[in-house]
Amino acid sequence: MKPAEFTYYRPESVGEALHGLATLPDPKPLAGGQSLLTLMNLRLARPATLLDIGRFTELARVFDDTEALVLGALVRHRTCETDPLVAARAPLLHAAAGHIGHLGIRNQGTIGGSLAHADPAAELPLAAVTLGATVHVESATRGKRALSAEELFVSFYANSLEPDELITWITVPAIRPGQGWGFVEYARQHGDYALAGAGVLLSLDARGRIAGLRIGLLNAADRPLLFDEREGTAPVLGELPEPRLWEGLGWRLAALSEPSHPDTEYVKALCASAISEAAEAATERAGENT
Partner 1 sequence: MARVEDGTLLAGQGRFAADAAEGAHQVVFVRSTEPHADILGIDTAAARAMPGVLGVYTAADLGLDGARLPVLTTPNPAFAEATGFQMAEQRIPLLATERVHYVGQPIVVLIATDRYRAEDAAEAVTVSYRGRAPVTDAATALEAEPLYDHLADNEIARIGYSFGDPENAFGRAHRVVSGEYRIGRHGAVPLETRGAVARPDRRLRRVDLTTSTQIPHLVRNAVRTVTGWAEHEIVVHVPDVGGGFGTKANVYAEEIVLAVLARQTGFDLAWIEDRQEHLLSAAQGRDQVHRTRLAVDGQGRILAWGDEFLVDVGAGSLWVAGIVANTAVHALGPYRIPAVRMSGRAVLTTKTIVAQYRGAGRPEAAFALERTLDAAAAELGIGTARIREINLLTDTDLPYPRPIPYRDGEPIVYDGWDYRACLTKVRDLLPETERERLRAEHPGALLGYGLGCYLEATARGPYETARLRVLDDGAVELATGAAAAGQGHATVFGRVAATALGIPEDRVRYRPTDTERLPDGIGTFASRSAVVAGSAVHNGAMRLLDRARALAQEVLGGPVEYAGGVFRRGEAEIGLGGIAAHTRGDPTALDVTETYRPRTVTWTMGVHAAIVAVDRRSGMLSVLRYAVAHEGGNELDPEIVRGQILGGVAQGIGGSLFEEYGYAPSGQPLSTTFAAYHLPLSTDVPNVAVAHLHVDTPDNPIGARGAGESGTIAAYPAIAAAVDDALGGRIHCAATPLDPGLIHGALRKAAVLA
Q: What residue ranges bind partner 1 (CB under 8 A)?
A: 1-5, 42-43, 186, 188-193, 195, 263, 265-266, 269-270, 273, 277
Q: What whole-number distance in Å separates Cα of residue 61 and Cα of residue 71?
A: 6
Minimum Å gap between C-beta 77 and partner 1 is 17
Give the number of other CB atoms < 10 A from CB of residue 43. Answer: 11
Strand partners for 200: 182, 215
CB-nearer residue toward partner 1: 164 or 185: 185
CB-nearer residue toward partner 1: 188 or 207: 188
Minimum Å gap between C-beta 188 and partner 1 is 6
3 state SS of 233:
coil
Minimum Å gap between C-beta 191 and partner 1 is 7
CB-nearer residue toward partner 1: 104 or 191: 191
The 3 state secondary structure assigned to 125-165 is: HHHHHHHCCEEEEEECCCEEEEEEHHHHEEECCEECCCCCC
Minimum Å gap between C-beta 51 and partner 1 is 20
Strand partners for 27: 49
Minimum Å gap between C-beta 34 and partner 1 is 12
CB-nearer residue toward partner 1: 99 or 136: 99
Q: What whole-number distance in Å separates Cα of residue 73 and Cα of residue 236?
A: 35
Burial of 17 (0-12, 13-18, 19+ CB in 10 A): buried
Minimum Å gap between C-beta 25 and partner 1 is 18
Q: Which residues of 61-74 are buried (b: 16+ CB within 10 A; e: fewer)?
A: ebeeeeebbbbbbb
CB-nearer residue toward partner 1: 12 or 265: 265
CB-nearer residue toward partner 1: 191 or 235: 191
CB-nearer residue toward partner 1: 123 or 277: 277
Quick one: angle between helices 243-254 and 264-288, nearest 10? Answer: 140
Minimum Å gap between C-beta 97 and partner 1 is 18
- Residue ranges of alpha helices (H) inside the chain are 14-23, 36-41, 77-82, 84-89, 91-97, 103-108, 111-117, 123-131, 149-152, 243-254, 264-288
CB-nearer residue toward partner 1: 110 or 273: 273
Minimum Å gap between C-beta 15 and partner 1 is 32
Q: Which of 253, 251, 127, 141 is nearest to 194 (CA)?
A: 127
8 A C-beta contact, residue 165 and residue 142: yes
